Amino acid sequence: MTKKHTAQCACGEIKFGFDTDPSFSALCHCLDCKRASGGEGAMWFGVPVGDFQIFSGKPKGFGYVAQSGKKLVRNFCAECGSRLFTSDLESFPGMMFVQVGALDDAHGFAPQLEMFTKRRLDWAKPLDLPQFEDMPH
């Protein structure tokens, strides 16, 4: 089955897709996202679990407890190490968080807000978006 949006890891072992246009996307500066991405922050967006489909490959999951105390599973390619999506989110049941960098075409996938701005590094300038020191409610 073809999906509107497709994504994959760096080596192409894992491919997945979804049809839903994201209704929640964030640029997150929390320490968890920084460590998991290896960068200043991470940009991700929510997709309903029922719309998410893996076409090929088997992601490796890493169970984790976020600073919030809620559980989640970070999924990545065991071959190339690309971080792809987060599943089993206790804080957001029924949702997957997809990393924007995994998309085959990321045009039109802009963040709607910045969160955990209290952790943003001094050299990273705020975007012209709603700003949240912690997790928005």
Give the pLDDT confidence of 68-103 residue by residue, as tens digits: 788 999 999 999 999 999 999 998 999 999 999 999
Please, what CATH class does the domain formed by 5-118 belong to? mainly beta
pLDDT at 135: 83
- The answer on pLDDT for 12 being more than 70 is yes
- Delimit the domains of the chain by residue range: 5-118
- The answer on pLDDT for 19 being more than 80 is yes
Nearest residue to 65 (alpha-carbon basis) of 90, 82, 94: 90
What are the angstrom distances between the C-alpha of 78 and each of 30, 57, 59? 24, 10, 7
Total-model pTM: 0.89
Nearest residue to 76 (alpha-carbon basis) of 86, 89, 64, 66: 86
- The answer on pLDDT for 1 being more than 70 is no
